[in-house]
Structure 1
């Protein structure tokens, strides 16, 4: 009788459930088909995938001691890479926002001649990036003063090239190139060069005599 009561009072043992990786992957795929995942953003999916990957790496029972050390090294590398990627995205976003805010001219207003003089002084000191910016501003101000393009505050170099290219189709390709050079040295942190400045200076000189009706002849 005592033995029977003891047997009845003995605690129940929980039997662990062992699920192989194939079954786990299948169940995870079925889980992702649920409606709550339908509106998930790409970033959320990537982060969930990274979390799943990291969780698998840190599974002590599957990787062992040596594997655990390697997993931690991989985890550190992932974290560092993610931090670098986020920093680059933040810097690009900041530069893009600055480009939209400042446009071609930034603060203040000067004449085309003043921008040209400033560009030549900077070029003489081999400050090519600054010279390139001033030369494109000379181009933009000259086109505005001659009413070839509208005077639009905050206009970007690309917008200037597109509008001027429609009015002067013979110069459209050169204007687009000049806009790219300006953006590269201003927002893309590319170094300015004498050759790049020469592109802007040559375009400025040719545009000074261009007229919308004679654009193709002037370009040639």
Structure 2
């Protein structure tokens, strides 16, 4: 065979090979596709990690809601009716029982661990009032009232007593001031545990109550029991 004939034959074989499909094995083909798809140009618009997490969360919530609505009578409408009934029951219990209050304990104690006399509490209250610190002034004045009643033996000194307890006990022997004592205890609780801000008027009411209690004469034990009944 001549050189020219060999070249012509090679060209004919090359043309024939171009028409034959190339059969690539499955594993190399998959690996090649994965390498191609892992290029950054294919992931420019993908959601970030936070978006993917939020999508999964809402898919989970939607699945729970779908399951609940499917099991509730009437589907979604039935689920809404059940939810409204539950809310109404909670509101009725709240209205009937009132706002939950903490049980009296060491954290609700009227006095701290450093006992002081009624006079010392009054002095501290006046100092706070002069500086415009009405919360502290109300607290110290209520403490002065209760300490004064203890000093007069109208109340037995008792660690851990709350303002409400002191007002209820003192009101039995001083019924004319029972309402003022309850109001004073409520003012103390509001500023101490309720996060409210006392007003100058609230402090003046407590100061007047303190002065009135100083002049008040308690009922005898039998008369106080009859007044309580």
Name the counterpart of 2:156: 150
1:55–1:175 Cα change, 3 Å: farther
Name the counterpart of 1:177: 183
Find the partner of 2:105 among 100, 103, 106: 100
Q: What is the deviation of 1:57? A: 2.9
Structure 2 Cα separation of the partners of residues 128 and 54 of structure 1: 51
Structure 2 Cα separation of the partners of residues 113 and 122 of structure 1: 14
Name the counterpart of 1:138: 144
1:213–1:118 Cα change, 3 Å: same
Name the counterpart of 2:218: 212
Q: CA RMSD in A?
A: 2.8
Structure 1 Cα separation of the partners of residues 194 and 112 of structure 2: 17
Which has the greater radius of gyration? Answer: 2
Structure 2 residue 127 is matched with structure 1 residue 121: yes
The structure 1 segments of at least 4 consecutive aligned residues displaced by more than 2 Å after TM superposition are 53-59
Structure 1 Cα separation of the partners of residues 198 and 178 of structure 2: 22
**TM-score between the two structures when normalised by the length of structure 2:** 0.52
Structure 2 residue 167 is matched with structure 1 residue 161: yes
Gap regions ≥5 residues in structure 2: 1-60, 71-99, 224-229
Q: What is the deviation of 1:54? A: 6.1
SS at match of 1:212: coil
Q: What is the deviation of 1:58? A: 4.9
1:180–1:54 Cα change, 3 Å: farther
**TM-score between the two structures when normalised by the length of structure 1:** 0.54
Structure 2 Cα separation of the partners of residues 122 and 175 of structure 1: 21
Name the counterpart of 2:43: none
Deviations 1:50-89 (A, max 9, x none): xxx9645356xx9xxxxxxxxxxxxxxxxxxxxxxxxxxx
Deviations 1:173-206 (A, max 9, x none): 1100000000000000010110111111110011
Structure 2 Cα separation of the partners of residues 142 and 54 of structure 1: 63
Matches within 5 A, 1:194-213: 194-213=200-219
Q: What is the deviation of 1:211? A: 1.4
Matches within 5 A, 1:24-103: 55=63, 57-58=65-66, 96=102, 100-102=105-107, 103=109
